[in-house]
């Protein structure tokens, strides 16, 4: 008994247990830790930060606003400006090339189903939003991923930022987005961008870091310059991982569509939101189904882009 006790009484354990004993003693004396701490006005700081950005970075935001507006306009033209037959057959063609007639048939049935539910136009707006958001995310995310894999400083700087972007509840982005970009599609896309970029960065980085050391050495041994190395070794070899990032980015963009509708983004999300707020369950379910279907279409297409290339 004494021996067993002796085994547990040592310096480390005493150090570990002493704060607990102290805390019990203090609380017996009526001390409350939480009440006795000073108040730290982080929320005021948040307000101040947003205000500061609004006044000082206005031109930057205007530029971003213009850029996304242009891109979105173009995308909307692509999806809504065309007759449904054209859009459906283009998707079917892509589906056939990447995977075969099965995917092609799935796309046809899904789109017909959506059209018959009466959501064709909303669906195409959602498509335009998702594609716009995904493109901006990927255009920023993939180069950042490359940078992060190659530059230690970038790695150190970006890591906490990416963690922040990914874990902060997405609703939190909505308020400042409205602040900077007003109400409508643009702030929706901005919030989506913040939320959907990290996987593109992370998976690009992972793909590059996963390149077998010997293959990297082979590239260098044959005298490849840094640019040749990136284009002929690193990017092609990390393509499966990068494509997974593309897939994840698109999926996350879709999940932001409904949330984005809260600040005025149009499309299927708006329909779902309407269903929720007016307690029209049927409408919500139908529009939700539409989102699920285009999610499946985009998922299957992006998953097949690179897989196809590797196996044949």
Partner 1 sequence: MKENPETKIKVKNLYKIFGKNPAKALPYAKEGLSRSEIRKKTKNIAALRDINFEVKKGEIFVLMGLSGSGKSTLLRCINRLHNITEGEVYVDDIKVNGLSHRELLKLRQVKFGMVFQHFALLPHRTVMGNVTFGLEIQGLPEKERAEKGMNAIKLVGLKGWEHSKTTSLSGGMQQRVGLARALAIDPEILLMDEPFSALDPLVRTRMQDELLKLQKRMKKTILFVTHDLNEAIKVGDRIAIINKEGVMVQVGEAEEILLNPETNYVKRFISDVDRPGVIRTETIMDDPQSAYSVDSSPQEILDGMERNDTDYAFLTEDDRFVGGVMDYDMKKAAEENKPVRDYVIKVKTADFVKTIKDILPQIIDSDYSVPVVDDDGNLVGEVRRKHIKRILQENV
- In the list 47, 54, 70, 217, the residue contacting partner 1 (rule: CB under 8 A) is 217
* Shortest separation between residue 237's beta carbon and partner 1, angstroms: 7
Closest CA relative to residue 233, chosen from 257, 247, 248, 214: 214
Closest CA relative to residue 121, chosen from 306, 254, 270: 270
Cβ–Cβ under 8 Å, residues 257 and 268: yes
For residue 162, what are the CA distances in angstroms to 121, 132, 174, 199, 200?
Answer: 34, 21, 18, 9, 11
218 near partner 1 (CB under 8 A) = yes
223 near partner 1 (CB under 8 A) = yes
Per-residue contact string for residues 25-64; x = within reach of partner 1 by CB under 8 A? ----------------------------------------
Q: What are phi and psi of 146, to 5 degrees?
A: -60, -45
Our CB check for partner 1 shows the closer of 81 and 236 to be 236
Per-residue contact string for residues 164-203; x = within reach of partner 1 by CB under 8 A? ----------------------------------------
Binding to partner 1 (CB under 8 A) within 262-291 occurs at none
Q: Rounded distance, CA 201 to CA 143, Å?
A: 8
- 197 contacts: CB under 8 Å, gap ≥ 6: 137, 140, 141, 144, 165, 249
Which range touches partner 1 (CB under 8 A), out of 81-89, 196-204, 223-231, 262-270?
223-231
Our CB check for partner 1 shows the closer of 175 and 224 to be 224
Our CB check for partner 1 shows the closer of 44 and 214 to be 214
Binding to partner 1 (CB under 8 A) within 69-108 occurs at none
Which range touches partner 1 (CB under 8 A), out of 118-126, 146-154, 193-201, 222-230?
222-230
Cβ–Cβ under 8 Å, residues 162 and 201: yes
* Shortest separation between residue 309's beta carbon and partner 1, angstroms: 7
Per-residue contact string for residues 227-256; x = within reach of partner 1 by CB under 8 A? -x---xx--xx-x-----------------
* Shortest separation between residue 204's beta carbon and partner 1, angstroms: 16
Our CB check for partner 1 shows the closer of 55 and 312 to be 312
Which range touches partner 1 (CB under 8 A), out of 7-15, 47-55, 136-144, 221-229?
221-229
Q: Rounded distance, CA 178 to CA 263, Å?
A: 7
Question: Dihedral through CA 58, CA 63, CA 67, CA 70, nearest 10?
Answer: 90
Q: Rounded distance, CA 47 to CA 300, Å?
A: 42
* Shortest separation between residue 156's beta carbon and partner 1, angstroms: 17
Region of residue 264 (phi > 0: left; psi between -120 and 50: alpha; otherwise: beta): left
* Shortest separation between residue 97's beta carbon and partner 1, angstroms: 19
Cβ–Cβ under 8 Å, residues 134 and 196: yes
Our CB check for partner 1 shows the closer of 220 and 278 to be 220
Cβ–Cβ under 8 Å, residues 140 and 197: yes
Positive or negative, the CA dihedral 9, 11, 17, 21 is positive
Q: Which residues bind partner 1 (CB under 8 A)?
A: 212, 214-215, 217-218, 220-225, 228, 232-233, 236-237, 239, 309-310
């Amino acid at each position: 008994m004494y021996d067993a006790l002796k085994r547990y009484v040592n310096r480390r354990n005493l150090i570990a247990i002493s704060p607990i004993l102290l805390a019990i003693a203090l609380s017996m004396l009526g001390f409350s830790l939480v009440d006795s701490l000073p108040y730290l006005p982080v929320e005021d700081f948040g307000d101040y930060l947003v205000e500061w950005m609004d006044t000082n970075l206005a031109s930057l935001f205007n530029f971003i606003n213009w850029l996304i507006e242009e891109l979105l306009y173009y995308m909307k033209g692509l999806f809504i400006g065309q007759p449904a037959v054209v859009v459906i057959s283009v998707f079917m063609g892509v589906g056939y090339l990447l995977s075969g007639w099965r995917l092609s048939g799935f796309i046809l049935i899904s789109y017909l189903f959506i059209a018959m539910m009466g959501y064709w136009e909303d669906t195409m707006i959602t498509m335009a939003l998702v594609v716009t958001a995904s493109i901006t995310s990927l255009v920023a995310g993939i180069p950042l991923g490359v940078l992060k894999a190659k530059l230690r400083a970038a790695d150190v700087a970006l890591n906490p930022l990416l963690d922040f972007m990914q874990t902060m509840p997405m609703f939190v982005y909505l308020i400042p987005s409205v602040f900077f970009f007003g109400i409508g599609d643009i702030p929706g896309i901005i919030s989506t961008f913040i939320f959907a970029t990290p996987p593109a960065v992370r998976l690009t980085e992972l793909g590059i870091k996963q390149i077998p050391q010997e293959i990297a050495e082979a590239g260098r041994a044959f005298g490849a310059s840094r640019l040749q190395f990136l284009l002929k070794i690193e990017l092609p070899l990390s393509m499966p991982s990068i494509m997974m990032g593309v897939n994840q980015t698109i999926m996350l963009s879709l999940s932001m569509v409904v949330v984005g509708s809260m600040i005025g983004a149009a499309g299927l999300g708006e329909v779902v939101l309407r269903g929720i707020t007016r307690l029209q369950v049927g409408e919500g379910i139908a529009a939700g189904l539409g989102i699920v279907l285009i999610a499946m279409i985009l998922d299957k297409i992006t998953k097949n882009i690179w897989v196809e290339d590797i196996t044949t």
